[in-house]
Structure 1
Amino acid sequence: MEEITDRCATLKLSVREDVEVTIHAPLTEDGPVLIGKFCTKSRINLEFVVRVLRTVWRVEHDFEVSDLGENKVMFLFQTKEDMEKLLLLSPWSFDKYLLILHKLVCGEVVKDIKFNRLPFWVQIHGLPTMCQTKEVGMNIDATLGEVEKVDANGKGFCLGSFLHIRVLLDVSLPLCRGRKV
């Protein structure tokens, strides 16, 4: 084993191979790009998926799709509004498989993205009516994950029989059956 280690220690790049290349990040803001991952072990038929998603998503402008392998897909939109609409309406599924969408930011590498968080709307039942507030919702659902939004009116109250909250959940963990409040 030491012999192999010693041999590897002597390996060096040639002068031609050792040239550094400097890249500069684009000066523009982040583009309307989503990276999606289908949560299935079987290979998806991307042509069929795109045909169906074009009719289901109903975006105003067309979008381009690139296969990234390992059931990962890049969606390039013409407008940020179309991309934001899809993120707001998520989670999405296709053929009973969850589609996790991630907004790509400048400088991010696809292989480093962890597809484990997804926004879900959660209902909290059994709270006293006067406790169905935005503040209470933020406190309760912070135990589940990152709170994105609490469905409340301008005064911070949730009118109805339950509190409605959008939370980023870790889909790699099993769902909790409940919480004590």
Structure 2
Amino acid sequence: MGMNIDELATRRYLFKFYHEADISRIINDGPWTFDKSLLLLKRLSDTEDPLDIDLNTAEFWVQVHGLPPGFRSEAVLRGVGDFIGVVYHCDERNFDGSTRSFFRIRITIDVTKPLKKGMRLKKEDGDWIQIEFRYERLPTFCFICGLLGHSDKFCNRRVQGWDPLSEKTYGSELRAGFRRNIPTGGNR
């Protein structure tokens, strides 16, 4: 176990791990933050130069809420995920036979673009439904522009004349609630 960290440039670091299990855990269990700021990570091959790597994507578990019966399939979830970013993995528990209030997809998101709040789906009868997205472990993001990495206090739109009295387009509803273990019954 263990790792070394080298600072390569301003805000660019190289993490060196000694065991494959550590690398896999760090890559697969993210996203990771430091001081509420997102850490963008990329696994390098032996031939890649760490200073030449674009760091503009991160993987998130995204919860899809409001998906009605008839739309609850892996193919639909993958289509929804492709609207958000690039689907990496669907939660294997999505279709285990239990009733779900939401479905989970692991998605690679371009952090240079605003977060997606939801999307509309057309039912067979022609009616439209709205589904909503919630991001697990979502770090600091702007309620004005929807970008990760800054809060609305530091948004460039404020400088460009955004009216602080107008309604913000994004809100805390994009954050998924914390997952807590529900205690089992027992004697007091």
TM-score normalised by length of structure 1: 0.61
Q: CA deviation at 1:155?
A: 6.3
Separation in structure 2 between the aligned mates of residue 122 and residue 154 of structure 1, nearest angstrom: 12
Q: AA paired with 1:143? A: F
2:94–2:103 contact (8 Å) kept in structure 1: no
Separation in structure 2 between the aligned mates of residue 79 and residue 90 of structure 1, nearest angstrom: 18
Q: AA paired with 1:111? A: L
Confirm whether residue 164 of structure 1 aligns to residue 104 of structure 2.
Answer: yes
Q: AA paired with 1:117? A: T
Q: Which of residues 137, 143, 151 is equivalent to 2:83? A: 143
Separation in structure 1 between the aligned mates of residue 101 and residue 94 of structure 2, nearest angstrom: 18
Q: CA deviation at 1:84?
A: 0.6
SS at 1:81's partner residue? helix
Match of 1:132 in 2: 72
Distance 1:88 1:66, change over 3 A: same
Q: CA deviation at 1:177?
A: 2.1
Distance 1:158 1:149, change over 3 A: farther
Confirm whether residue 88 of structure 1 aligns to residue 18 of structure 2.
Answer: no
Compare relative contact order (CA 8 Å, sep 6+) and give the higher one, 1 or 2.
1
Q: Which structure 2 residue ranges, 5 or more long, are not aligned?
A: 122-188
Residues 16-47 of structure 1: per-residue CA shift (max 9 Å, x gap) = xxxxxxxxxxxxxxxxxxxxxxxxxxxxxxxx
Aligned residue-pair number: 121
TM-score normalised by length of structure 2: 0.59
Separation in structure 1 between the aligned mates of residue 84 and residue 96 of structure 2, nearest angstrom: 21
Distance 1:158 1:74, change over 3 A: farther
Separation in structure 1 between the aligned mates of residue 16 and residue 97 of structure 2, nearest angstrom: 38
Q: % of aligned pairs identical?
A: 31
Distance 1:82 1:158, change over 3 A: farther
Q: CA deviation at 1:63?
A: 0.8
Separation in structure 1 between the aligned mates of residue 94 and residue 8 of structure 2, nearest angstrom: 43
Confirm whether residue 106 of structure 1 aligns to residue 46 of structure 2.
Answer: yes
Match of 1:152 in 2: 92
Separation in structure 2 between the aligned mates of residue 80 and residue 159 of structure 1, nearest angstrom: 36
Separation in structure 1 between the aligned mates of residue 38 and residue 94 of structure 2, nearest angstrom: 33
Residues 81-115 of structure 1: per-residue CA shift (max 9 Å, x gap) = 11110111111111121111110113212222111
Separation in structure 2 between the aligned mates of residue 158 and residue 87 of structure 1, nearest angstrom: 29
Q: CA deviation at 1:159?
A: 4.8
Separation in structure 1 between the aligned mates of residue 102 and residue 83 of structure 2, nearest angstrom: 18
